Structure 1
Amino acid sequence: MRKRLSHLCLSTLGLTGVSLAHAENIYMFSLVTGIAPRYEGSRDYRPVVAPVIAAQFDNGFFLSPMEGAGYKKEFANGLFVSTALDYDFGRSDSNRADLPGSNYLKGMGRIPGSLMLSVQAGAHVFGTSTISMTLDQPLTHTGRGLSGHVAMTVPVLQTPTNQVDITGSIHAGTGRYAQTFFGVTDAQAANSNFRPYSVKGGIDSAKVSVGWTATVFSPRWSVHTEAGASRLIGNSGDSPIVQKKVNYFAISALTYRY
């Protein structure tokens, strides 16, 4: 859930999109600022300010605040696979600077954080476009259920110093995942202002964003700006904890790479 909220577009700052054909170690240091909803379905927003450090090594291993620590293998035919360990911080039922959550959820309790195993497979298609499927399995607090998403990124402008991409994705989860993040149990209803609500698994949201990366100062410096919207779908969007089915986000990062 953390990846889909305050850091909805930080994944573009990761290194999983860097080609391993260069056979070199790559390090990135970024200062990120932006705005994102307090939780998925919230009508309130909060600022996002964070330093980001990421690295990818010529042997395929990578370290990223969004993808976690893992390994990626690219094949000559354009296919790629990766696996990584990451941590999802869950959700709070109060306004906090360090966690998704809102005072509006008071009485719902804390969704605990989980160590996550992410497995991804994808391909470069139509030149530099990319399509991928990612599954996220919790290794701790496994009761939150399995989730995943399918995404496609299409470059619409490429010059020596500028690139503009459009990314679309669809997210889905099991029944346990949907109930954890969008359902209301009898106990939660008794402690909050929400009525009991059961949610079935399936597709729960769709997202689209536009990102612009520009080289500044020198080839080592770049600015990435991204903005987009996500919409809750089906039973998840009808949950009593959802104030707005459509959320917006925007983020910008100054990055030094060497």
Structure 2
Amino acid sequence: MKKHPSLMLGAVCLLSAASACAAEPDGQFAVGGGIGAGPRYAGSDRNVVSPVIVLDYTHASGFFASSLRGVGYGYQAGPFTYSTALGYRGERKEKNEKALFGNNGSEELKGMGDVKGNASAIVSIGIKPLPILEFNVSADVPLSQRENGKTIHTGITAQLLDGRNDTLSLSAGAGFADSKYAQTYHGVTAQQALTSNFKAFTPKSGLYEANLMLTWQHKFSNQWSVTALAGANTLLRDASKSPLTKRKTSPAGGFYVSYLY
């Protein structure tokens, strides 16, 4: 699982793929593809369109291996859900470099140096007090490149439509960062200020973003489905004041087709 630091599409795709696989009592494999769009980096005023590849296997025991969710284990007990996984947080380049999954970086960051990708431990818990409402909390803890810092995300998802062939849901969330994450992705060190066009900036830990996403899924059959997503991500507090931030609110969205085996 490779996640763009400022793109929430993968997280929403993960929820769609997970629910699809969990719908059957036996293990299932979902395969599909499409496109996703979002800012080049958190705070960029330029967008990037990248392919989305869905490869998601879930065993009846709760084990899963996924291009979106990583490799891990999850289970559900009544209204409660829990999962833990090994994932990957994508890198950020200081130049506009073409990569397998689209352009990876921006010339606007020249002199800032590259932010290396890292392996992450991702832990998530959720509760569904009503069939149409779910609350969740997740933590992303780096296992390598620990200077990249930790994040915690909270979210709520409301099921607006649950029909035979169509589902529509609205998700809202907020992200909290430690001081290392804030400095790595939104800060400018004294050394970086000397080599770039940005002034030194030291953001504080805490709330740094909020997001909103509308997800629609249509099933053509028990196997074939199409999913479309549209939403936005807004940087808050010190992240919005960063010299790197050229646009506080950025659109995000995507479209993909999947097949369940």
TM-score higher than 0.5 here? yes
CA deviation vs aligned residue, 1:128-181 (integer Å, no higher than 9, x gap):
322110011101111122111001111101110000000001001101110110
Task: Name the SS for the 2:152 alignment partner.
Answer: strand
Within 5 A, what are the aligned runs for 1:72-221?
A: 72-75=74-77, 77-98=78-99, 100-216=104-220, 218-221=221-224
Q: Does the C-alpha gap of structure 1 residues 97 and 168 become closer, same or farther in structure 2, counting only changes over 3 Å? A: farther
User: What is residue 62 of structure 2 aligned with on the other side?
Assistant: 60
TM-score (structure 2 length as normaliser): 0.93
Q: Does the C-alpha gap of structure 1 residues 162 and 106 become closer, same or farther in structure 2, counting only changes over 3 Å? A: same
Q: Which letter does structure 2 place at the counterpart of 1:187?
A: Q
Q: Distance in 1 between matches of 2:79 and 2:22?
A: 12
CA deviation vs aligned residue, 1:171-225 (integer Å, no higher than 9, x gap):
0110111011000001101110000000100000000010100012x22111100
Structure 2: runs of 5 or more not aligned? none
CA contact (8 A) 2:21 2:58 kept: no
User: What is residue 48 of structure 1 aligned with on the other side?
Assistant: 50
Residue of 249, 257, 260 corresponding to 1:257: 260
TM-score (structure 1 length as normaliser): 0.94
Q: Distance in 2 between matches of 1:148 and 1:100?
A: 24
Q: Distance in 1 between matches of 2:69 and 2:108?
A: 30
User: What is residue 11 of structure 2 aligned with on the other side?
Assistant: 11
Structure 1: runs of 5 or more not aligned? none
Q: Which letter does structure 1 place at the counterpart of 2:48?
A: R
Q: Distance in 2 between matches of 1:113 and 1:10?
A: 16
Decide which moves more: 187-196 or 87-96: 87-96
Q: Does the C-alpha gap of structure 1 residues 105 and 43 become closer, same or farther in structure 2, counting only changes over 3 Å? A: same
Task: Name the SS for the 2:19 alignment partner.
Answer: coil
Task: Name the SS for the 2:29 alignment partner.
Answer: strand
Q: CA deviation at 1:47?
A: 1.1
CA deviation vs aligned residue, 1:14-35 (integer Å, no higher than 9, x gap):
3433575742111111111132
Task: Name the SS for the 2:68 alignment partner.
Answer: coil
Q: Distance in 2 between matches of 1:169 and 1:11?
A: 11
Q: CA deviation at 1:97?
A: 3.4
Q: Distance in 2 between matches of 1:209 and 1:4?
A: 17
Q: CA deviation at 1:100?
A: 4.2
Counting matched residue pairs gives: 255
CA contact (8 A) 1:16 1:72 kept: no
Q: CA deviation at 1:234?
A: 0.3
Q: Which letter does structure 2 place at the counterpart of 1:9?
A: L
Q: Distance in 2 between matches of 1:87 and 1:200?
A: 24
RMSD of aligned C-alpha atoms? Answer: 1.6
Q: Does the C-alpha gap of structure 1 residues 63 and 159 become closer, same or farther in structure 2, counting only changes over 3 Å? A: same
CA deviation vs aligned residue, 1:45-92 (integer Å, no higher than 9, x gap):
1111133211111110011222210000110x2101110000112211
CA contact (8 A) 2:5 2:89 kept: no
Q: Does the C-alpha gap of structure 1 residues 3 and 81 become closer, same or farther in structure 2, counting only changes over 3 Å? A: farther
Task: List, as ranges, runs of 4+ consecutive aligned residues in structure 1 with deviation greater than 2 Å.
Answer: 1-6, 10-23, 96-101
Matched residues, percent identical?
A: 27
Q: Distance in 2 between matches of 1:242 and 1:227?
A: 22
